[in-house]
Amino acid sequence: MIQLQNYINGSFEPPKSGAYLENFEPAKGEVFSMVPNSGPEDVEAAYQAAWAAFPAWKNTPAEEKFKILNRIAELIDSNRNRFAEAESRDQGKPVWLAKNEMVRAAQNFRFFATAAMQFASESHSMEDRGINYTLRQPLGVVGCISPWNLPLYLYTWKIAPALAAGNCVVSKPSEFTPYSAYILGEICTEAGLPAGVLNIVHGLGNSAGQAIVEHPGIKAISFTGGTVTGKHIASVAAPMFKKLSLELGGKNPNIIFADADLEKAVKTTINSSFLNQGEICLCGSRILIQKQVYETVKNKLVDAVNQMKTGNPADEKTRIGAIVSKPHYHKVLGYIDLAKEEGGNILTGGKALDPEGFENGWFIAPTIIEGLPYDCRTNQEEIFGPVVSLIPFETEEEALQMANSTNYGLACSIWTSDLNRAHKMAAAIESGIVWINCWLLRDLRTPFGGVKQSGVGREGGWEAMRFFTDPKNVCIAF
Ligand code: NAD
């Protein structure tokens, strides 16, 4: 049994209460690790360490920060297999997918190490009267709270810019997937990150997480997770005037027009629907298909899904691993039942699976449903599992109206060969991210985030560097 510890002031420490949580391996349904059940006293210790480390880290030359952050990236690369195995056992995803995600986790450090070197202050001349320059200063101690679906990928997406901008961090990975962040603690020490600059407190959202949000010394909260949690965090943090970046849920439309390259659209749609068991905030769960090609696309999708292997995460051929936790497994199955009650016709999947050797794991067959009205609950609420709904449409206007009909607005994909339509749709869709004829094609310089109930604020590139710094204007009169 693995016993994890908090990483505070550069050392591994048990939680002050001595209490631990059981964490399960989703593919086996067995306890896999014991996770510190931390509380406000652990967050306070992490904060004190971070605050003490801040003056020196803030003043560490940019080149030195660059070297340390790059060394962390190198160590993630050289420990890639260890990380991937840990992540797969913790989260349930296939090992091959976890390995791909580790490349991005390392890239997050490299990217922001470089970004920080180029994040220059602005200056504004007032002709012969004077000049302004704007310092971008680190905030101090910031809080980073991340979810379970892409554990190290999203955790590093937050802490890398926070550290690169000169802040010290008190962080909390998800209690369901803490293992890779735990290993990262070891690596940060090895890479020479000074003690206290990054602190990792494990535990539940409503105790350890809440204590980070409530802490008066923690100046900003970068949060990725569910919309309900995001609303709660906003209500606690807003009266303290904390800076907030909230990356929340989605119910993303994937719109396929009859003039699209259907081969490519179908192939990518399989990925955008079911990668990581459909547990990616960017997954398209409402597949809008123009009527002329509805039957063709439907049949191709069902055929492709019927060939997907669900089961052993260590098998290279596995496409669908286990669902992250028992409660989430029941939630997803509950939505499949709801879809049936709402009149949905299950075209494939629609049930739990017990693959050989993994009979006690939490597996759900990739599921395609049709026949649901666009405004029913199944088509409006985030399921966050391997479940998609096919919805036919006739015109561009109808597709747009259906696409914009949810409270969410994170991402969408549009498949068409008509350039004018692509631009018009992209401008009109209520969504923070629009992909035309692709999905998850990412450039880390671009803004990332959602509108409506999918969140506020943006991550990525200069957006992240701006979030983790405060602008201070200095005006000099001549
Ligand atoms: P969650 O909201 O349950 O938990 C996310 C994190 O917040 C966890 O670390 C949790 O412990 C912590 N938390 C919970 N309650 C808290 C509280 N009161 N105070 C402080 N922290 C608290 O989300 P989840 O189930 O881990 O993740 C799935 C959700 O995340 C989905 O809705 C998904 O769409 C969303 N997500 C969004 C993005 C994005 O970029 N927009 C990316 C990935 C996942």
For residue range 420-473, list pLDDT tens digits in order.
999 999 999 999 999 999 999 999 999 999 999 999 999 999 999 999 999 999
Q: Is residue 98 part of a domain?
A: yes
Kindly give the number of the ligand 1 atom that is closest to the alpha carbon of 173. Answer: 9
Q: Report whether residue 382 contacts ligand 1, using a CB cutoff of 6 Å.
A: yes
Q: Which residue has a Cα nearest atom 12 of ligand 1?
A: 205
Q: For residue 284, give the nearest of 375, 408, 449 by alpha carbon.
A: 408
**DSSP code for 208:** I
- Identify whether the C-beta of residue 285 lies closer than 8 Å to the C-beta of residue 252: yes
Six-digit token string for 264 = 């490519």
Q: Does residue 252's CB lie within 6 angstroms of at least one atom of ligand 1?
A: no
> Residue 4: pLDDT above 90?
yes
How many CA atoms, within 13 angstroms, populate the side-chain half-sphere of residue 256? 30
Domain count, the chain: 2
- Please report whether residue 296 resides in a domain: yes
For residue 401, the CA-to-ligand 1 centroid distance in Å is 28
User: Is residue 365 located within the same domain as residue 406?
Assistant: yes
Expressed in angstroms and rounded, the spacing between residue 467 Cα and the centre of ligand 1 is 19
For residue 447, what pLDDT is reported? 98
50: domain CATH number is 3.40.605.10
Whole-number Cα distances in Å, 475 to 115, 127, 130, 453, 472: 26, 13, 7, 39, 10
Domain containing residue 271: CATH number: 3.40.309.10
Report yes or no on 448 lying in a domain.
no
Task: Kindly state whether residues 233 and 327 are assigned to the same domain.
Answer: no
- What pTM, to 2 d.p., does this model score? 0.98
pLDDT in tens, 31-51: 999 999 999 999 999 999 999
Q: Is 281 among the residues known to form the active site? A: yes
Q: What pLDDT score was predicted for residue 120?
A: 83
> Do residues 130 and 160 share a domain?
yes
The answer to whether residues 50 and 71 belong to one domain is yes
Q: Are 228 and 304 found together in one domain?
A: no
* Protein residue closest via CA to atom 26 of ligand 1: 147
- Asked if 60 and 355 count as a contact pair (C-beta separation under 8 A), the reply is no
| Most distant CA pair in the chain, distance | 79
In a domain, 243, yes or no: yes
Closest alpha carbon to 12 in 164, 189, 167, 132: 189
297 and 192 in a common domain: no
C-alpha–C-alpha distance, residues 131 and 123, integer Å: 7
Question: 169 lies in which domain range?
Answer: 2-248+454-477
pLDDT of residue 121: 83
Atom of ligand 1 nearest to the CA of 382: 32
Q: Which of 108, 145, 200, 458 to mutate to test the pocket of ligand 1 (most atoms within 8 A of CB)?
A: 145
The answer to the question of residue 125 being in a domain is: yes
Q: Which atom of ligand 1 is closest in space to residue 227's alpha carbon?
A: 32
Residue to substitute in 146, 149, 275 for testing ligand 1 pocket (most ligand atoms within 8 angstroms of CB): 149
Contacts of 285 (CB under 8 A, 6+ apart): 251, 252, 273, 278, 382, 383, 387, 388, 389
What is the per-residue pLDDT across 169-203, written as a single tens digit (0 to 9) for each?
A: 999 999 999 999 999 999 999 999 999 999 999 99
Compute the CA torsion angle 266, 250, 391, 298 (nearest 10 deg): 20
In single-letter form, the type of residue at position 276 comes to N
Q: Identify whether 449 is part of a domain.
A: no
Domain co-membership, 302 together with 159: no
| Bridge partners (DSSP) listed for residue 33 | 2, 23
Counting from 1 in the atom list of ligand 1, the atom nearest the Cα of 230 is 2
Looking at the fold, whether 318 and 335 belong to one and the same domain comes out as yes
Q: Is the pLDDT confidence value at 1 over 90? A: no
Q: Are residues 241 and 262 in the same domain?
A: no
Do residues 57 and 167 share a domain? yes
pLDDT of residue 93: 98
Report residue 320's pLDDT band, with 50, 70 and 90 as the boundaries: very high
**Nearest partner of 95 among 322, 355, 362, judged by Cα:** 322
Residue with tokens 């631990």: 20
Question: Is 133 in the same domain as 217?
Answer: yes
Looking at the structure, tell me whether residues 110 and 226 fall in a common domain: yes
* Distances in whole angstroms, Cα of residue 150 to Cα of each of 316, 324, 334: 19, 11, 23
- Residue 74 inside a domain? The answer is yes
Q: What is the mean pLDDT of the chain?
A: 98
Query: In 10 A of CB 44, how many CB atoms?
Result: 16
DSSP element (H, E) containing 459? none
